[in-house]
């Protein structure tokens, strides 16, 4: 299936993303939750635009809660990238190998001309050959951190030509045009793992995630100018199937400019962008009919519950002492995230005794390339050595229903040769004795320390019997309104048992989770003394909560065999506007993650393991009073709608100053093209504005109606 099939095309490179951080989770509580539908209270009602702009650019000295020793960093109130424009690219990404079968790979350009070709992520195509969009990374809920999505317009092999010049050498190009999205999946806090915590000012650099998107067969061009027999074979298979699926992992994504240097530029009224750059490893495979778009199909393995103590050894000469990661507390509370080794997916090849195992998200890289952050004396950037953390030799095994386990074969996760990981998409193909096939089909796969290794006999990953998947990872809904009076919405679920069809009903538990910001300067109602001038940074958690944005049954039962070929519909009722998460958990999930608030369930399980949909429910803004007193006034349009974007996303105003009436009216065609509601196809392109898609339909209407009114006025004056 998909990337675990043959042939598969692997690539690696770097990943650059330039999101705007103003109302992200890691800034001052006063700015957090500045979603467009809630903007206007507190600071903004008391301050002028100039004052707010100055405020957002101020530098503060803050520390992280529970850091020991406590360290104070200079931060900027609006985060590490006030001028971000959300553009996201693969950089220096190239095809590294084409795996045509177990143990058979093309790894040089001489073997196949596709090897070494650039792999480029594209934005949406437009009618103008000189203007192709750029992929855009933007959370559904910009105040949160678990709803990241990547708006994509396609991808290509071969150098992209932008601005009239080429990105690099290329024999030819093959372009796949398709508007779609990829979503953050399997967030892993230990994508990069070091014996010392990351010393830079941002606390997310150790995190990584997987993303996947698909290109339908209809978008595969018929004429391929690139002469590659491997690609020809691959595309023939893809055209006969559902299309192409692209799975990639990003990690150690780090802003390039430290906040103190940003502040120096802000002090000069400059507006520097500060994109974050990280590692990229990916695989392109055939997308089979019925497979999800957004997650790799197959048998999913996750960290066992409760996680046992695990041993690891940092690299070094002489070899440092083996260290032990403590076991997971049960029930799990706040503190160390449960997983040390990330999720994996396995596929038993249908026609040969091989298990293909996707470990792209699993084993941490050892050591940060910039241990104390960028722009520091010890920063090496991408010249730094890359190694996997040593968990010792590991093997794949299967546990029978009666308990005994049987070794299937050793697993190379890139420990001794990092390129075996990064050049092969993190996927390993493990041949097995054909006599094990029935046991493998019916048993539970595990990844464990090999006998005699530091983790000998320890289960590091374990197959989850029931797996839930949804491709509705980020949905944009409205409250009931005249054009859609029904409050019922639908999310599609699929359910797998050991990667196959279920043979008994599956009970699914539904929970709503919320992004909760905690002011860490107060504990038990008391303000805590902090060594840093401006206190502690807020803590963000995702907590199970009942705020009533959605109404849904506590459980649903998916009949045996259902939810395999087609999506099983889950009916949800929208009640209030806002942004939330709707999680789908099995009973096992609930045992492991907990439910309710006693003890409180923090967001790590949701981020890392659970199947969830991010949901935005748009407000039904009532502007009837404005329409009742025509004409519509610029001041109203600015204050109710555009002011938020002018202040929070200054990059937009470099193209179209949002605070100038004439600018808005003068750019009517551009705004009319880019300002859309979810019922319009343009909403789903990388051109749509705002990128955050936080503007409610009635706000969109207000802006467009104002523009139309002013255009009509000009037309009248001209005649």
Partner 1 sequence: MKLPRSISLVLVLAVAACNSSTPRGGGAQTSTSTAPAPSTAPSPSGGAAGPPLSPNVPADMPPNPSQADAVTYAWQQFVALNWPALAGMRGVPDTSKMIGASGEVVWHTWKAPDEIFYADGRMPPSWNDYGGELPSQCAAAGAPSMGLVLTRTSKVPGNITNDAVELAKQAVGGTITDQHGNLARYEVRLNQMIFNAIVTSQFYNTQGQDAARQISFLPGVMEVKASWRQILPNEPPTVTSRYYTETAWIYTPQFGPNKPTCVMGKVGLVGLHITQKTQSRPQWTWATFEQIDNVPPTTPPYTGPLSFNDPTCPVAMCPPNMSTEKNGVPTGKPTQVTRVIPIGDEAAAANPMWQQALAAAAPNSPFRYYQLVDIQWPSNPSSQRPGGVPTPSLLANTTMETYVRQSSCINCHFTARTYSSKLSSDYSFMLAEAKPASASRTGGAR
8 Å CB contact between 69 and 678: no
Residue-wise burial string across 660-696, b where 16 or more C-beta atoms lie within 10 A, e elsewhere? ebeebbbbeeebeebbbbbeeebbbbbbbbbbbbbbb
Q: Based on the shown chain and the rule CB under 8 A, indicate whether residue 704 belongs to the binding site for partner 1.
A: no
Q: How far is the CB of 92 from partner 1 (least distance, A)?
A: 12
147-176 positions binding partner 1, by CB under 8 A: 160-168
Comparison of 510 and 656: residue with beta carbon closer to partner 1: 656
Q: Binding segment for partner 1 among 446-454, 578-586, 603-611, 668-676 (CB under 8 A)?
A: 668-676
Q: Binding segment for partner 1 among 99-107, 401-409, 576-584, 654-662 (CB under 8 A)?
A: 654-662
Q: Based on the shown chain and the rule CB under 8 A, indicate whether residue 127 belongs to the binding site for partner 1.
A: yes
Q: Based on the shown chain and the rule CB under 8 A, indicate whether residue 657 belongs to the binding site for partner 1.
A: yes
Q: Which residue has the tokens 């080794």?
A: 341
Kindly give, in sequence order, each residue whose CB lies less than 8 Å from that of residue 518, ignoring residues fewer than 6 positions away: 538, 539, 540, 541
CA 506 – CA 487 distance, rounded (Å): 26
Residues in contact with partner 1, total (CB under 8 A)? Answer: 51
CA 19 – CA 79 distance, rounded (Å): 11
Comparison of 91 and 705: residue with beta carbon closer to partner 1: 91
258-277 positions binding partner 1, by CB under 8 A: 268-273
Q: Based on the shown chain and the rule CB under 8 A, indicate whether residue 83 belongs to the binding site for partner 1.
A: yes
Q: How many CA atoms lie within 13 A of 373 on its CB side?
A: 17
Q: Binding segment for partner 1 among 36-44, 281-289, 356-364, 648-656 (CB under 8 A)?
A: 648-656
Q: Based on the shown chain and the rule CB under 8 A, indicate whether residue 659 belongs to the binding site for partner 1.
A: yes
Q: Binding segment for partner 1 among 100-108, 317-325, 527-535, 665-673 (CB under 8 A)?
A: 665-673
Q: Out of 517, 667, 682, 709, which residue is the one contacting partner 1 (CB under 8 A)?
A: 667
Q: Classify the phi-psi angles of 4: left when phi > 0, otherwise alpha if psi is within -120 to 50, otherwise beta.
A: alpha
DSSP code of residue 438: H
As given in the structure block, the two tokens for residue 448 are 């464990």
Q: Based on the shown chain and the rule CB under 8 A, indicate whether residue 662 belongs to the binding site for partner 1.
A: yes
370-389 positions binding partner 1, by CB under 8 A: none
Q: Based on the shown chain and the rule CB under 8 A, indicate whether residue 535 belongs to the binding site for partner 1.
A: no
Q: How far is the CB of 216 from partner 1 (least distance, A)?
A: 23
Q: Based on the shown chain and the rule CB under 8 A, indicate whether residue 48 belongs to the binding site for partner 1.
A: no
Q: Based on the shown chain and the rule CB under 8 A, indicate whether residue 120 belongs to the binding site for partner 1.
A: yes
Comparison of 166 and 453: residue with beta carbon closer to partner 1: 166
Comparison of 58 and 288: residue with beta carbon closer to partner 1: 58
Q: Out of 5, 18, 23, 191, which residue is the one contacting partner 1 (CB under 8 A)?
A: 18
Q: Binding segment for partner 1 among 414-422, 468-476, 511-519, 659-667 (CB under 8 A)?
A: 659-667
Report strand pairing: 568-574 vs 488-497.
antiparallel
Compute CA distances 324 → 311, 329, 603, whole Å: 4, 15, 25
Comparison of 667 and 701: residue with beta carbon closer to partner 1: 667
Kindly give, in sequence order, each residue whose CB lies less than 8 Å from that of residue 316, ignoring residues fewer than 6 positions away: none
Q: Out of 123, 342, 443, 499, which residue is the one contacting partner 1 (CB under 8 A)?
A: 123
Q: Out of 47, 67, 530, 656, which residue is the one contacting partner 1 (CB under 8 A)?
A: 656
Q: Based on the shown chain and the rule CB under 8 A, indicate whether residue 128 belongs to the binding site for partner 1.
A: yes
Q: Which residue has the tokens 């650099």?
A: 205
Compute CA distances 87 → 210, 391, 646, 710, whole Å: 18, 37, 18, 32
As given in the structure block, the two tokens for residue 491 are 């999310």
Q: Based on the shown chain and the rule CB under 8 A, indicate whether residue 334 belongs to the binding site for partner 1.
A: no
Q: Based on the shown chain and the rule CB under 8 A, indicate whether residue 87 belongs to the binding site for partner 1.
A: yes
Q: Based on the shown chain and the rule CB under 8 A, indicate whether residue 680 belongs to the binding site for partner 1.
A: no
- Measured in degrees and rounded to the nearest 5, phi and psi for residue 157 equal -95, 140
Q: Based on the shown chain and the rule CB under 8 A, indicate whether residue 635 belongs to the binding site for partner 1.
A: no
Q: Which residue has the tokens 């290109």?
A: 215
Q: Based on the shown chain and the rule CB under 8 A, indicate whether residue 685 belongs to the binding site for partner 1.
A: no
Kindly give, in sequence order, each residue whose CB lies less than 8 Å from that of residue 133, ignoring residues fewer than 6 positions away: 122, 123, 124, 125, 126, 153, 685, 686, 687
Q: Based on the shown chain and the rule CB under 8 A, indicate whether residue 522 belongs to the binding site for partner 1.
A: no
Comparison of 20 and 393: residue with beta carbon closer to partner 1: 20
Q: How far is the CB of 210 from partner 1 (least distance, A)?
A: 22
Comparison of 600 and 666: residue with beta carbon closer to partner 1: 666
Comparison of 168 and 457: residue with beta carbon closer to partner 1: 168
Strands (E), 391-443: 394-399, 405-411, 427-431
CA 77 – CA 97 distance, rounded (Å): 44
Q: Based on the shown chain and the rule CB under 8 A, indicate whether residue 250 belongs to the binding site for partner 1.
A: no
The alpha-helical segments, DSSP class H, found in 7-95 are 43-46, 49-56
Q: Out of 60, 210, 665, 702, which residue is the one contacting partner 1 (CB under 8 A)?
A: 665
Comparison of 93 and 550: residue with beta carbon closer to partner 1: 93
Q: How far is the CB of 127 from partner 1 (least distance, A)?
A: 7
Strands (E), 498-619: 506-518, 522-523, 526-527, 539-544, 550-551, 555-558, 568-574, 578-585, 611-618
CA 612 – CA 616 distance, rounded (Å): 13
Which residues of the shown chain bind partner 1 in the complex (CB under 8 A)?
A: 18, 53, 83, 85, 87, 89, 120, 122-123, 127-131, 134, 160-168, 268-273, 650-651, 653-657, 659-670, 714, 718
């Amino acid at each position: 299936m998909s990337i675990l099939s043959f042939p598969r095309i692997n690539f690696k490179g770097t990943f650059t993303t330039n999101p705007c951080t103003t109302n992200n989770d890691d800034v001052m509580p006063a700015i957090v939750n500045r979603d467009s539908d809630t903007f206007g209270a507190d600071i903004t009602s008391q301050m002028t635009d100039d004052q707010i702009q100055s405020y957002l650019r101020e530098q503060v000295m803050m520390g992280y809660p529970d850091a020991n020793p406590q360290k104070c960093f200079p931060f900027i109130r609006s985060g590490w990238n006030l001028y971000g424009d959300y553009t996201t690219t693969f950089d220096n990404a190239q095809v590294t190998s084409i795996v045509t079968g177990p143990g058979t790979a093309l790894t040089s350009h001489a073997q196949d001309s596709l090897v070494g070709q650039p792999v480029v992520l594209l934005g949406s195509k437009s009618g103008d050959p000189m203007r192709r969009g750029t992929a855009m990374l933007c959370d559904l809920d910009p105040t949160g951190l678990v709803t990241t999505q990547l708006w994509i317009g396609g991808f290509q092999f071969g150098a992209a030509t932008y601005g009239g010049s080429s990105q690099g050498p290329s024999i030819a190009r093959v372009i796949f045009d398709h508007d779609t999205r990829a979503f953050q999946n399997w967030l892993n806090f230990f994508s990069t793992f070091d014996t010392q915590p990351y010393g830079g000012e941002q606390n997310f650099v150790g995190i990584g995630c997987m993303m996947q998107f698909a290109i339908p067969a209809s978008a595969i061009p018929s004429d391929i100018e690139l002469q590659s027999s491997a690609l020809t074979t691959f595309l023939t298979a893809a055209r006969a199937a559902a299309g192409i699926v692209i799975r990639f992992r990003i990690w150690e994504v780090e802003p390039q400019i430290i906040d103190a240097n940003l502040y120096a530029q802000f002090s000069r009224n400059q507006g520097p962008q500060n994109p974050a750059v990280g590692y990229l490893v990916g695989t392109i495979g055939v997308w089979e009919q019925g497979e999800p778009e957004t997650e790799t199909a197959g048998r999913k393995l996750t960290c066992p519950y409760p996680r046992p103590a695990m041993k690891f050894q940092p690299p070094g000469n002489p070899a440092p002492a083996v260290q032990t990661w403590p076991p997971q507390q049960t029930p799990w509370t706040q503190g160390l995230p449960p997983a040390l080794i990330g999720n994996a997916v396995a596929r038993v090849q249908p026609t040969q005794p091989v298990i293909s195992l996707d470990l792209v998200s699993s084993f941490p890289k050892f050591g940060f390339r910039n241990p104390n952050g960028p722009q520091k004396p010890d920063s090496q950037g991408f010249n730094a050595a890359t190694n996997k953390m040593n968990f010792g030799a590991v093997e794949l095994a299967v546990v029978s229903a009666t308990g005994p386990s049987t070794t299937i074969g050793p697993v190379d996760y890139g420990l001794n040769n990092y390129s075996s990981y990064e050049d092969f998409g993190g996927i390993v193909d493990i041949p097995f004795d054909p006599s094990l096939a029935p046991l493998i089909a019916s048993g539970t796969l595990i990844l464990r320390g090999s006998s005699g290794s530091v983790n000998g006999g320890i289960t590091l990953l374990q197959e989850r019997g029931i797996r839930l998947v949804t491709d509705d990872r980020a949905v944009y809904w409205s409250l009931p309104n005249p054009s859609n009076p029904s409050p019922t919405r639908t999310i599609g679920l699929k359910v797998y048992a050991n990667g196959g069809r279920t043979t008994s009903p599956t009970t699914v538990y539904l929970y709503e989770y919320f992004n909760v910001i905690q002011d860490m300067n107060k504990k038990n109602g008391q303000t805590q003394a902090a060594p840093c001038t401006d206190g502690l940074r807020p803590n963000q958690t995702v907590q199970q909560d009942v705020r009533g944005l959605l109404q849904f049954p506590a459980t649903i039962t998916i009949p045996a065999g259902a939810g395999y070929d087609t999506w099983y519909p889950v009916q949800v009722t929208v009640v209030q506007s806002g942004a939330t998460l709707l999680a789908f958990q099995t009973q096992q999930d609930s045992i492991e993650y907990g439910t309710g608030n006693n003890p409180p369930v923090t967001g790590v399980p949701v981020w890392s393991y659970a199947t969830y949909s991010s949901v935005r429910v748009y407000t039904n803004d009532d502007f009837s009073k404005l329409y009742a007193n025509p004409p519509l006034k610029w001041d109203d349009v600015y204050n109710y709608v555009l002011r938020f974007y002018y202040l929070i996303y200054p990059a937009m105003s470099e193209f179209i100053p949002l605070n100038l009436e004439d600018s808005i009216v003068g750019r009517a065609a551009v705004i009319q093209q880019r300002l859309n509601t979810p019922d319009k196809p343009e909403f789903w392109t990388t051109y749509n504005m705002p990128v955050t898609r936080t503007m409610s339909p009635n706000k969109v209407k207000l802006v467009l109606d104002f523009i139309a009114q002013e255009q009509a006025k000009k037309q009248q004056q001209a005649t």
